[in-house]
Structure 1
Amino acid sequence: MQEHLDEAAFHWRQRERALASWEESLEEIAEGDEARLLAHVEGLVIGGAPVARRLLLPALEGEDLWQVGPAALALLGSEGDASLALLLRELTEGPEESRPEIRRALEFAGRSRSEALHLPQVARVGPEAQAMLLEVLAAWQADPGSALPRTLGADDAPALWVAALRSARFTARPVAEGFVRQGLAHAEDSVRCAALETGLILGLREPWQACRWLVGAPDEAGRLARLALALGGEPADVKLLLTAAEEWRLREDALWALGFSGRRAAAEVLVNVMQREEAGSRLAAESLAIITGLDLTEHLLRDEPDDEAPSSAEEGTGDTGAATGAWRVPPPPGRVRSASVCAWWQKAQTRFDERGRFVRGAPWSPAAVFAELTRGPACLRPVWALELAVRTRGGLQVATSARAAFQLRQLQGSAALRLDSTPRGFDSLMTA
């Protein structure tokens, strides 16, 4: 049984890294590390109460943090409501370093169990634990109801503000709107960013307008604003992004955002960036590929050993998603041959109309976005998920770090939603 736990910990870690990978897609994660993780967790569940007492419970407070999440998953599978109550206590009272892993396990397990044990806990614990519980509810996409604090002030912990703003997406609209408007004026960057994201998903005009004056901000809210303008902006908004790309402190973030604009003008700027660098910017090339469908495998430099390439994801525990910077640029490994890419563009550019928006070389469509969410690089998925959430006014909020099977069901069920086949600007989607 120890081998099952060790293997589960390994695949838990690999899965968390894969969520920020350029190389793996949701389908590959589902069939690879996630499937292996679940197989080893099932092996632990079969062991029943003796394995829970001897192996799983000690692992919750052990030194190997990567064992905490799989141990929690196995307990949820074998011990019923008693294990859920235990994990909620560990989440709020257990060792501080293991709490994010228990939170991720609860998020991964999903809301198949009743929130009846979860909701009453929120009002009974301190701000940090409240934030953890609200984050779990937000991941479950459950209405927090009375568990959501009715008022928060400037002195309340930023983490609690962020969790409340995320959870508010699934509660009564007047309550959510109040949180958004307060959050936009908050002094803390993480709070403003969460308010901006929630406001855009709710279709509020004030956060959308804020994106235009945040386009030059170097913080996380500025990163999100640039991505939102790329996804839903008009040609004038794309020009703002082109200007941002000329500022050295915003250059990487702006190049990252330009790929999601899908515009020919953005592609031309990305090509120009590569023309100025003999060993071309891989980030500019990746953004160009998002627009045009360029196959980068044909243009990579082969003179760098693999062990010098940057890692696709940071070391640490598996606390992934927007909470830790989903809007940051994940560093793509390697470099490209600039001259080769520019020569390709000279031949391909006639396929791209200046007025169109493109994804992987094809005109934008909901199907193209769904394809990116299922078969595209995992590190891009939070941005595409944001676009769908805004375009459906919160009707489809893909939980990009949730269990892959759940995400695939979300995407399959989206057929019932009425998605406009033309990429209308976000201006037309916003209400007062």
Structure 2
Amino acid sequence: MSRATHIEPPWWDIAEEHLSEATFLWSKWEQALSSPAFTLAEAAEREERLRAHLDGLVLGGAMVAERMLKPALAEEDPFLVAAASCALLDGGQSLDMLLAETGLESAVQWAGVQRALEFCEREGLPAQMLALLSRSAPPARVCILGALGARGVEAGPELERLLSSDEPVLVSNALKVVRNSASSPIREQVRRLLGSPLPDIRAAALETGVALGLRGAWLACQQFASEDDAAGQRARLLMAMGGETPDIRALLALLGVPELRQDVLWVLGFSGRVAAADACVELLGEPDSRVARLAAESFCAITGLVLEGRYVRHEPRDAADELVPLEEEDLDEPLVLRSEDELLLAEPNAVRTWWREARHGFEPEGRYLHGKPARLDQFLEVLRGGPMRRHHVLALELAIRSQGRLFLQTSGGWRRQLRQMEEIQAMRGAMSFGPFRLLCQQN
């Protein structure tokens, strides 16, 4: 007897299209989340299209899950893995079974699962992650910790043990889930980790230590600010956010260090200081286009100038920015568009003329965000309508200034972000906008 011919369901091609489109849209949505050209509302349009395709995959039921979604977890595409993981969770797959899938082996695959855990709206998911944290294999534990940190969920009783782990990535991720702990042992662990020989751990400890109000963390920021590593980058950012005049002067002096210049320009935009705007406007005509673009971005972030019309400089891209000939291209290297590449160049003379007039309206010792005093209402206005590229840092500052009590998940869905902004608005009394030195008074 001949073998029966297997007939594909008529909707199988539709399911494949849903997965392909979800993968593509996830990558485009991630790009929007760090883009200077997208606002939250514009990123939300991509997100809604992504969710529609994820819903289509869930409607495919168990057959699509088994035949399409689970095999996709073994692919080396983080956006495909994220889409498949999210659809599996939304379709009822238990978290412990998802984390135990045999196809999950590489760091790329686990990164995709982590993004799904950050994004998924499944009820009770954070509690399920916490319950699995202590009994998961190391790769899953790192994934869970990263997702908890992104969602602003503290890791509970496991935290003290995780901070003592001999796995650096576990320690750095554990530091990111210390929100406003009053535990003396945990605070002591953070103090100890400020002296870690590993820059990534020192960077996380700086951020957490300042949020906890540890004096040693602020002193360490001033100590590490000139270092060319992750800890130095985080120290410079924290000094720009919460520094006083001497701290801003120290950052301005670092503009003279070639290997630090681009990073210093980036953080100066969060300082909100007139002196920083003065320094940026002098670099608008730099031959290095990345320096010029960063200077323009930070100048506008402080002053509120919108780069359009006569304020925009249109020039051919630098030779370094040109596409590499196909025969010379390394096809094993991923094609990545850096968000800096989307920044506009400013027309130096036009901007300098504008600044000579506008500067009179700025207090020399004031702090400004898009041309207005840097207070909570202005933070929320910029978060709702400003460029997504800067959201992650603004949200970090709000978390620090509330000592971890207020949290905005800038990697999450737009509805979740709007709910969290409403909570932040309602708890405005929990926020201090003074220098970080005054927040960091605990030994």
Q: Please state which band the TM-score falls in when normalised by the shorter chain.
A: 0.7 to 0.9
Contact 2:73 2:103 in 1 (8 A): no
Shift in CA distance, 361/41, structure 1 to aligned 2, threshold 3 Å: same
Q: In the alignment, which residue of structure 1 is the partner of 2:393?
A: 383
Partner of 1:321: none
Per-residue deviation, 1:76: 1.2
Q: Structure 1's 330 and 316: CA in aligned 2 closer, same or farther, altered over 3 A?
A: same
Contact in 2 for aligned 1:364/1:422 (Cα 8 Å):
no
Map of 2:96 onto structure 1: 85
Greater displacement, 105-114 / 158-167: 105-114
Match of 1:301 among 285, 309, 313: 313
State the secondary structure of the residue aligned to 1:261.
Answer: coil
Whole-angstrom CA distance in 2 between matches of 1:57 and 1:209: 49
Equivalents in 2 of 1:53, 1:306: separation in Å?
49
**Distance (Å, rounded) in 2 between the aligned partners of 1:329 and 1:235:** 30
* Matches of 2:341 and 2:91, distance apart in 1: 40
Structure 1 residue 8, shift from structure 2 partner: 0.7
How far residue 175 of structure 1 moved from its aligned partner, in angstroms, is: 4.1
3-state DSSP of counterpart to 2:176 = helix
Matches within 5 A, 1:89-128: 89-90=100-101, 94-96=104-106, 97-110=108-121, 112-115=123-126, 117-128=128-139
Matched residues in 1 for 2:357 and 2:135: separation?
64
Q: TM-score, normalised by structure 2?
A: 0.85
Match of 2:158 in 1: 147
C-alpha displacement of 1:103:
1.3
Aligned partners of 2:401 and 2:431 also within 8 Å: no
Displacement of 1:64: 4.5
Trace 1:24-423 onto structure 2 (pairs within 5 A). Answer: 24-30=38-44, 32-62=45-75, 64-79=77-92, 82-90=93-101, 94-96=104-106, 97-110=108-121, 112-115=123-126, 117-150=128-161, 152=163, 156-169=166-179, 173-274=183-284, 281-298=292-309, 299-304=311-316, 330-419=340-429, 423=433
Change (3 A) 1:44 1:114: closer
CA distance in 1, matches of 2:270, 2:127: 40
Q: What is the root-mean-square deviation in Å for CA atoms of aligned residues?
A: 2.9
Q: 1:159 to 1:174 in 2, by over 3 A?
A: same
C-alpha separation between the residues in 2 aligned to 1:360 and 1:140?
Answer: 27
Structure-2 separation of matches of 1:149 and 1:397: 22
Q: Which letter maps to 1:185?
A: G
Q: CA deviation at 1:148?
A: 2.8
Judge conservation of contact 2:175–2:208 (CA < 8 Å) in 1: yes
- Taking the aligned partners of 1:39 and 1:317, their CA distance within structure 2 comes to 27
Q: Secondary structure at the match of 1:186?
A: coil
Q: CA deviation at 1:149?
A: 4.9
Tell me: CA distance 1:106–1:232, structure 2 relative to 1, closer, same or farther (3 Å).
Answer: same
**Deviation readout 1:93-137 (Å, 9 max, x if unpaired):** 722231110111011115722555433433334444322222222
Larger Rg: 2
Aligned pair count reads 415
Tell me if the contact between 2:304 and 2:369 (Cα under 8 Å) persists in the aligned partners.
yes
Instruction: Name the % identity.
Output: 39
Which residue of 1 is the match for residue 441 of structure 2? Answer: 431
Cα deviation for residue 316 of structure 1 reads 6.0
The SS at the match of 2:192 is helix
Deviation at 1:192, TM superposition (A): 0.4
Normalising by the residue count of structure 1, what TM-score does the alignment of the two structures yield?
0.87
Cα distance change, pair 213–306 in 1 and its aligned pair in 2 (3 A): closer
The answer as to whether partners of 2:294 and 2:340 remain within 8 angstroms in 1 is no
Cα separation, 1, equivalents of 2:46 and 2:319: 22
